[in-house]
Structure 1
């Protein structure tokens, strides 16, 4: 991997154990809902009981922590060494549920994840070459849509997190979320840099305490069940390798690699550090290697978490060692189910109030990148407008692609992948095809002649 000047690159700064753990805990709280949701959905679809679903969730936390440490600390050729949190990807949930419910069961899911991830691992150095097709007009569009695509998650959290609950969208839920949001804003008005950086963590803690006092949430199950439990190897049976399942997961793998590439570029922009093809390849290898190993302990395909990119932006804490500490906390949570139950008890509206700022910050970072684009060039305006609009389609109405083939639905399931694909294609069309290059040369000649 390309050697970086570690004295100048902010991601290599070590803040000390205490600060690293505190800031790392912020990352865990930010992504906790996202990392436990996929195993919950897949386990329910597989007909598992509550105890078995608990094992899936514990495995997701444990493997996500190990994957995060691998991505942030890294070894030779593996790991982007950037503040990126890893966890079970949402991109493959629909596909894995389909495999589970069509008779393959969890063993077929695990077999498909292993094979598809190994293929992705060997594709990483070739896939990373697309970095040259990511100028600011593309990266800005992708980073902006990452934030916009996450905002509906924050809104659902603000409303209660569960549409079937009787208090969904209640004034109480939204008021609690707005109170948490107000705490975040208030803390960011303080003179203390430390309090501003810890604003998300402190707001979630204070919001949870207020929720407890007011009778929100259910904290009664925290002490129920085992306190310490290690993940089991192949707890749900040995993997089964089915061709159709593997093919489906391979499409998902390409989507995840696209999204992870976008996240690596996004966090590189925010941190202000160099991101080249070698670094992207190292990040993708960590993604795919952890994904291939995940089924051994009962987890699923891993991916970088976009919501944590927002936390890096809003706190200004760019150290990869902070995120590595967050990975360590995830590993501990995977071994201590009681701690997982404690964090799981945090009311969704509290997370929603903090998430509104976090995810909006990602979009703002994208807008800042788009400010570098020359809009006097009509083609740049078209690329940005069309890419963001295309990314908004699955956000506005997820059923837009429902009558398309399954692979199309998988490819364009999220606004991130839709924008990424559209922006790359339009950038190729306008800036890399021979005809577009000839037009650019002709225009430059005309401008030079007019200047002289």
Structure 2
């Protein structure tokens, strides 16, 4: 078999390119991944050393999950596509609520059970892919991209709208400058240089941020050389029924998010996943929760910003992402390495992330372009799914947390607090209602089975 016969997803690249492209993926996802342990740790008033251990465990599990997704393990794990895994934000509120009521051992006991649950339901859940035609997947991807622009904005302007430093002109100028560099490099550079344009833009943004006082190197000296917490750091796990049910709901939410991203990666790379492929990818999310329950980490999901990066650079090799996974594992085991990356200011990372999030929305628009909107209710399905689904994204407190359902029961907040989940439920249900139940399939449905 010649190199021309190898699918771009399976093609290897020279070592130097692999390293730089892998580092680029890591740089894009790092801030979003470590945000989860930082938010949870701060909310639970954990000490700095414990939060650092959570961050290390988070990076380690994300690295393992990313490696599994890229390389695959037998017939049961890993979708074998360029998928980067990272901690899901869906787990934040449930973890805080469970810890407050039952303690940290219950958090990780419930997470452990939810991981086993995820492994068990991955295959039947994957069979729902036939109900994710371009009408549903396109709408969901648009909402994923649009709703994540909010967190990207917070990285540039600040997380607390009540702070005097919020939306400082210097921070916004730095972010816009990095975006301008991404645009310039994408337009001007060719070949490998063009593929690492976002990484070059971040490097220049880092240099520009030094005289602004936004780069702090002291964390590197304070970080240790080895920082992995022992399994069950908070004590033997416990399994309150309410906590277990809540985390299982989180797992279903995570699988829903991952489904859209995995389908998007498949379409971008030209290798649309089969039911079996999708099942292996979703089972990896379950594995991450099992590992998280043991190693004091968090459930992982496919990261949308890295999906956008694959689209933008056109680099489809899964071995690039395998490098990313390896780097994340090293960062999880060696905190000093992670401290170097964490020195990059949020406005720099956020600027690139905003572009990547928008790329995911653009993929969704592209999917919707394949849908037939004449003589059916597909326009109505998209309108209701977008309108209602985005409500939680636009009703937020001063810290950017959704408050639309704040007076509802905790379990309902877990399901409906995420625009992605609300949109998935609506688009999925409305497509069934208008295009399947009591009538023949709408014209766009055959496209889902053929991948065209």
How does the TM-score come out when normalised to structure 2?
0.92
Aligned equivalent of 1:256:
254
Aligned equivalent of 1:94:
93
Aligned equivalent of 2:243:
245
Q: 1-side partners of 2:126 and 2:439: how far apart?
A: 24
- Work out whether residues 404 and 417 of structure 2, in 8 Å CA contact, stay in contact via their aligned partners in 1: no
- Work out whether residues 333 and 339 of structure 1, in 8 Å CA contact, stay in contact via their aligned partners in 2: yes
Aligned equivalent of 1:83:
82
Q: 2-side partners of 1:343 and 1:42: how far apart?
A: 21
Matched, 1:403 2:407: yes
SS in 2 for 1:79: coil
2:439 to 424, 428, 436: 436
Aligned equivalent of 1:212:
210
1:418 to 413, 416, 422: 422
Q: 2-side partners of 1:410 and 1:332: how far apart?
A: 32
2:222 to 202, 221, 224: 224
SS in 1 for 2:188: coil
Q: 2-side partners of 1:350 and 1:219: how far apart?
A: 16
- Work out whether residues 154 and 356 of structure 1, in 8 Å CA contact, stay in contact via their aligned partners in 2: yes
- Work out whether residues 161 and 348 of structure 1, in 8 Å CA contact, stay in contact via their aligned partners in 2: no
Q: 1-side partners of 2:231 and 2:11: how far apart?
A: 36
Deviation for aligned residue 1:27: 1.2
Q: 2-side partners of 1:211 and 1:337: how far apart?
A: 23
Aligned equivalent of 2:335:
337
Identify the range of structure 1 (256-265 vs 395-404) with the bigger mean alpha-carbon deviation: 395-404
Q: 1-side partners of 2:8 and 2:163: how far apart?
A: 44
- After superposition, the CA RMSD in angstroms is 1.8
- Work out whether residues 223 and 339 of structure 2, in 8 Å CA contact, stay in contact via their aligned partners in 1: no
Which digits, 9 at most, give the CA deviation of each residue in 1:87-125, with x for residues without a partner? 2211111000001112x2211100000111101211111
Aligned equivalent of 1:49:
47
Aligned equivalent of 2:446:
none
Aligned equivalent of 2:369:
371
Q: 2-side partners of 1:330 and 1:252: how far apart?
A: 24
Which digits, 9 at most, give the CA deviation of each residue in 1:17-41, with x for residues without a partner? 2212211111111111111111112
Aligned equivalent of 1:136:
134
CA pair 418-248 structure 1, distance change in 2 beyond 3 A = same
- Work out whether residues 290 and 302 of structure 1, in 8 Å CA contact, stay in contact via their aligned partners in 2: yes
CA pair 355-224 structure 1, distance change in 2 beyond 3 A = same
SS in 2 for 1:35: helix
CA pair 390-272 structure 1, distance change in 2 beyond 3 A = farther
2:312 to 311, 314, 317: 314
How many residues were matched structurally? 434
Deviation for aligned residue 1:408: 2.2
Matched, 1:361 2:359: yes
Aligned equivalent of 1:195:
193
SS in 2 for 1:82: coil
SS in 1 for 2:22: helix
Q: 2-side partners of 1:66 and 1:440: how far apart?
A: 41
Aligned equivalent of 1:427:
431
Aligned equivalent of 2:182:
184
SS in 2 for 1:94: helix
1:37 to 29, 35, 38: 35
How does the TM-score come out when normalised to structure 1?
0.92
Which digits, 9 at most, give the CA deviation of each residue in 1:368-405, with x for residues without a partner? 11111111133111111211222211111122222333
Q: 2-side partners of 1:216 and 1:29: how far apart?
A: 17
Q: 1-side partners of 2:124 and 2:59: how far apart?
A: 30
Q: 1-side partners of 2:366 and 2:200: how far apart?
A: 27
SS in 2 for 1:238: coil
CA pair 126-6 structure 1, distance change in 2 beyond 3 A = farther
Which digits, 9 at most, give the CA deviation of each residue in 1:31-74, with x for residues without a partner? 11111111112222333210111011011011110111011111
Q: 2-side partners of 1:29 and 1:156: how far apart?
A: 17
SS in 1 for 2:218: coil
Q: 1-side partners of 2:4 and 2:237: how far apart?
A: 42
- Work out whether residues 376 and 442 of structure 2, in 8 Å CA contact, stay in contact via their aligned partners in 1: no
